[in-house]
Amino acid sequence: MLSVVADIGGTNIRLAVCDVETGMLSKLNEFACAEFTTLEAALVQYFEILPGEVKHLCIGIACPVENDHVAMTNLSWTFSKQVLQDKLQLASLYVINDYTAISLAVPFLSPEEKIQIGGGEIQVDGTTAVFGPGTGLGVSHIVKSAGKWVSLDGEGGHVSFSVNTREQADILFLLQAQFGHVSAERILSGQGLVNVYTSLCTLSDQSAKFDQPKDVSKAALDGSCDIARRSLDIFCQVMGSFAGNLALNLACTGGVYIAGGIVPRFTDLFQSSDFRHFFEEKGRFKSYLSSIPTFLIRHDNPGLLGASVYLRQELESIK
């Protein structure tokens, strides 16, 4: 009998077989979500290539998961947990938020699987925050309780965007005219980077050349577009301020970790950006935040790693 873990974002689904004794992952596979009309179809295709029967499944997915009915925020997939478990004939099915999974990976990252940005030192077993710009903006916290790691779920990516400069305020006013409420995700996501870029173009009385985040970041990195480069600079500033807010909310002495698919594309620029300055720039609490470390996650599949941690903890509890 096999145990499988899945990490489902708005763009890709990653799957692996988990050894519940050692935590080792094998049979890693990745599909584009757009290749399938349902989650069940993707799982069935993966299960068919495995050398045994799947009995335990843990899914980390990019949406709220409190109810039996699950509907993804940035994808058309919907499903019933109970119906999916019955159709796949699973002994157990665990469905957790994707950033619950990613956060649970953090305590198990090796030094080589993370890059520290700025100063500060980790307090062992301290509360930890994890967030990541990708298709959307995922957020979670983890705490140590009764000898195991527990993730504190939430929808922190949808808090209101908070500005810290006049330039950011000008961008906010433009986006308010377009969207009404402007969440942090409207800035800190792939589409958010485009939103910043198009706003700066409007403010500069120039026509936008790009409508895809990869094109904005490419033009920023190769030096072919000053507005694209400024967009990436502001993106890092907002990330820093947002990370600082997370650290203050729950006294995250265990550090703040950045995941997601966007930042690793410009690691060098990020390390020299204003991220850490805006992280610490909280007035009277600047010295407090300067003691909290921030990290960029380099692990290839933190969602799968964290889903395996969750699955193993749950299966251990029912032995």
pLDDT digits (tens, 9 = 90+) for 26-79: 999 999 999 999 999 999 999 999 999 999 999 999 888 999 999 997 788 999
Residues 118, 18 share a domain = no
Residues 7, 140 share a domain = no
Residues 169, 74 share a domain = no
pLDDT digits (tens, 9 = 90+) for 89-117: 999 999 998 889 999 999 999 999 999 99
How confident is residue 155, by pLDDT bands cut at 50, 70 and 90? Answer: confident
Residues 230, 209 share a domain = yes
What is the number of structural domains in the chain? 2
pLDDT digits (tens, 9 = 90+) for 228-282: 999 999 999 999 999 999 999 999 999 999 998 899 999 999 999 999 999 999 9
Residues 69, 41 share a domain = yes
Rounded Cα–Cα distance for residues 312 and 3 (Å): 9
How many helical (H) and strand (E) elements, i.e. helices and strands, does the chain have?
11, 13
Q: Are 124 and 255 contacting, i.e. CB atoms less than 8 angstroms apart? A: no
Residues 29, 127 share a domain = no
Residues 218, 155 share a domain = yes
Residues 118, 91 share a domain = no
Residues 246, 97 share a domain = no
If one compares 234 and 125, the residue with the highest pLDDT of the two is: 234
Residues 305, 293 share a domain = no
Residues 95, 22 share a domain = yes
Note the pLDDT of residue 153.
Answer: 78
Note the pLDDT of residue 119.
Answer: 96
pLDDT digits (tens, 9 = 90+) for 166-187: 999 999 999 999 999 999 999 9
Letter string b/e over residues 228-253, b meaning 16 or more CB atoms within 10 A of that residue's CB: bbbbbbbbbbbbbbbbbbbbeebebb
Rounded Cα–Cα distance for residues 319 and 310 (Å): 15
Residues 283, 150 share a domain = yes
Domain of 12, CATH number, reads: 3.30.420.40
Q: Are 124 and 145 contacting, i.e. CB atoms less than 8 angstroms apart? A: no
Backbone angles phi, psi at 74, to 5 degrees: -115, 25
Give CA angle at 129 (127, 133), nearest 5°. 175
Nearest CA-CA partner of 8 in 305, 313, 304: 304
Note the pLDDT of residue 284.
Answer: 97
3-state secondary structure at position 155:
coil
Task: Give the domain range for residue 41.
Answer: 2-102+301-317
Domain of 164, CATH number, reads: 3.40.367.20
How confident is residue 10, by pLDDT bands cut at 50, 70 and 90? Answer: confident
